[in-house]
Structure 1
Amino acid sequence: MNIAITGDTGLIGTELKEYLRDNGATTVSLSRNKVDIHSIIELSKRLSGVSTVVHLAGVAHNPNASHDDYYQGNVVFTKTLCQHIATANSRNLCNVTKIIMISSIKAMGESTRPGEPFRHNDDCEPEDDYGKTKLAAEKQLREVCDNAGIEWVVIRPPLVLSKKVRGNLGLIQTISQKGIPIPLAGIDNKRDLVSIHNLCSVILAAIKNPNKLREVFLVSDGKPLSTPEIIEYATKTSARRAKLIKLPQFIRNTLTQHQHKHGLLRRLFGNLEVDINHTSKTLNWHPRKEP
């Protein structure tokens, strides 16, 4: 297997390269500092012998990014990449048969109702620039690939867990190391996450699947965690574990009532569950049990 990867220098890309190589694949970098995707000739040279492209690159959560930053980095970049691959194919400069895009569960929305997980064919209602441009990028992928006869796969992961804790989990880890109590004990919500291993394994399953795939897949570890459990996971390898305390009930009630207005509160108190039955059945894939 010769697999090309955009964004292969990022957190997921670095892990994916190692995982694919461990499973017998040869990987080709489509990092922007390695190839100019605006040059069809240069791109096609990198794609010589490549059957599948895994598209990871894009603008992720960045408080300093504007809407245009997200649009250019996610939508325009995806459209350009797919169009140029299709053109190179049509000129017999390469023969890419499948493009797999790693999108985000945020393309569907920010939260779910109790007992009503996101399903792969649900209507999408993204709320922020990141989620909206990921959904728009998926549309560009589908349109270009359908017109060019290229298989496409969209994978929408929730929060990805790895040994390199980052973002809000990294902040929690830092707070814990300082011995500062975290007032989030007793929250009984359900949030699906996915380990980097399980994400890489579902990507490989999509690469190897022999069927003509034009599908959206949701992925998770198969067991949602509460906010306190997520915090415990983030600090389990730290020298100092998280010290969780309960907020007074009236404060918790107030925060819960207003969570729909604030993204952070929704992530702390709300639910985000995904149904992976379609993924498991179609790809004959099952997540490895994670701690």
Structure 2
Amino acid sequence: MPNPDPRRSTVLITGAGGFVGSMLCRKLGTESYDVRAVVRNRTKEFSQTLGVIYIESDLLTERSLVDLCSGVDCVVHLAGRAHVLREKKVDPLDAFRQVNSELTLRLARQAALSGVRRFIFISSIGVNGNKTEERPFDESSQPNPEAYYAVSKFEAEQRLIELAATTSMELVIVRPPLIFGVDAPGNFGRLLKVVASNLPLPLSNINNLRSLVSVQDVVSFIELAIHHPSAAGELFLLSNGDDVSTTQIVRSLACGMGKKNFFFFLPSRLLEVGAAIVGKTGMYTQLFGSLQIDSSKAQRTLGWRPTAKTCSELEEVGRLYADRNSKA
């Protein structure tokens, strides 16, 4: 059983100003945890949540790491680099490694030296690969990272496992797929804008299956992983549990927005070739390929349950997005 009074815990959250981190801070603060929320820039507006102290730090100096980890029970490491701008003389893999692997290891080493009980690392399903063919990914699936981002996350996982083997600090690794919500950045944020525009889309013949996870469910899992004894030393893959096609994703968002999108047919091969010509092969895979996850271990081991069906949550996201934009 979980610790009966986990609220005594002091939790350090990196990437606290981000999409998942900001919601996690609010959730833990209202649950009476003592939260140290690490942000890169305190000039940004942050909601004043009881129990949450916002600390400006880039995590780059040893002194800052010592101060941040002192007296902490659990570190939730969300901070990372997801994109590398096209800059001359910049090796993109090295840029990802510096933040997602090297910085992560330095933080974890200091956490172990400071007596932190548990370190939760939010990785990526990209470590397993960018698509599934015959069966969903689960925790026993062989890693096959392709994108530089995923490579750096996998390298971080391996180095954390080596560190945990030589210290008393417990390690929990979480690999989520696309995390969705009304404030989601990146591809999902762009998809919301496309759906809201009511543009015709070439999605009438898409029969793929993709696993998603809502930001609320990611936050609920992280809170459980902070204190559940059975999470120690484990890897978990997360999903909402019911896989959907790209067409279903768009229809659900459109339904929530009160829109009716028009889909038309284009041969998938033509779309694939067109994506390759413009250098968007990765985007084609994300839109038209399948990526399924078996998250039964998280449910079986920790008793975690997603809060709602994916399409219902996507409709709610669409409604919230439309409401927000109507008031803008």
Structure 2 length-normalised TM = 0.78
The aligned residue for residue 228 of structure 1 is: 247
* AA aligned opposite 1:244: F
* AA aligned opposite 2:96: Y
CA 1:74 to 1:254, structure 2 compared with 1: closer, same or farther past 3 Å? same
The aligned residue for residue 217 of structure 1 is: 236
* AA aligned opposite 2:194: I
Matches within 5 A, 1:124-203: 124-203=143-222
The aligned residue for residue 92 of structure 1 is: none
Tell me if 1:107 matches 2:127.
Answer: yes
* Offset, 1:212: 6.7
Specify which of 251, 268, 276 is matched with residue 252 of structure 1: 268
The aligned residue for residue 28 of structure 1 is: 36
> How far, CA to CA, are the matches of 2:23 and 2:238 in structure 1?
17
> How far, CA to CA, are the matches of 1:140 and 1:242 in structure 2?
48
Matches within 5 A, 1:247-286: 247-248=265-266, 251-255=267-271, 262-286=281-305
Secondary structure of the structure 1 residue equivalent to 2:257: coil
The answer to whether the Cα contact below 8 Å between 2:138 and 2:293 also exists between their aligned partners in 1 is yes
* Offset, 1:238: 3.4
Tell me if 1:82 matches 2:100.
Answer: no
The aligned residue for residue 4 of structure 1 is: 12
Q: Aligned residue pairs: how many?
A: 281
The answer to whether the Cα contact below 8 Å between 2:214 and 2:240 also exists between their aligned partners in 1 is yes
* AA aligned opposite 1:206: A
* AA aligned opposite 1:96: V
Secondary structure of the structure 1 residue equivalent to 2:199: coil
Deviations 1:44-89 (A, max 9, x none): 33333321000001101445372221111101111111122223x3
> How far, CA to CA, are the matches of 1:60 and 1:233 in structure 2?
27
Specify which of 37, 54, 57 is matched with residue 79 of structure 2: 57
* Offset, 1:200: 0.5
* Offset, 1:277: 1.1
Stretch deviating more after TM superposition (38-47 or 261-270): 38-47
- Provide the identity percentage: 32
* AA aligned opposite 1:55: H
Stretch deviating more after TM superposition (26-35 or 271-280): 26-35
* AA aligned opposite 2:24: L
The answer to whether the Cα contact below 8 Å between 2:211 and 2:242 also exists between their aligned partners in 1 is yes
The answer to whether the Cα contact below 8 Å between 1:182 and 1:242 also exists between their aligned partners in 2 is no
The answer to whether the Cα contact below 8 Å between 2:231 and 2:302 also exists between their aligned partners in 1 is no
> How far, CA to CA, are the matches of 1:10 and 1:82 in structure 2?
20
> How far, CA to CA, are the matches of 1:180 and 1:149 in structure 2?
54
Secondary structure of the structure 1 residue equivalent to 2:166: helix
CA 1:68 to 1:40, structure 2 compared with 1: closer, same or farther past 3 Å? closer
Secondary structure of the structure 2 residue equivalent to 1:225: coil
Stretch deviating more after TM superposition (20-29 or 6-15): 20-29
Unaligned runs of 5+ in 2: 1-8, 42-55, 313-328
CA 1:177 to 1:204, structure 2 compared with 1: closer, same or farther past 3 Å? closer
The aligned residue for residue 121 of structure 1 is: 140
Unaligned runs of 5+ in 1: 90-94
* AA aligned opposite 1:70: F
* Offset, 1:24: 2.7
Output the aligned Cα RMSD: 2.4
* AA aligned opposite 2:32: G
The answer to whether the Cα contact below 8 Å between 1:111 and 1:270 also exists between their aligned partners in 2 is yes
Stretch deviating more after TM superposition (67-76 or 175-184): 175-184
> How far, CA to CA, are the matches of 1:35 and 1:230 in structure 2?
37
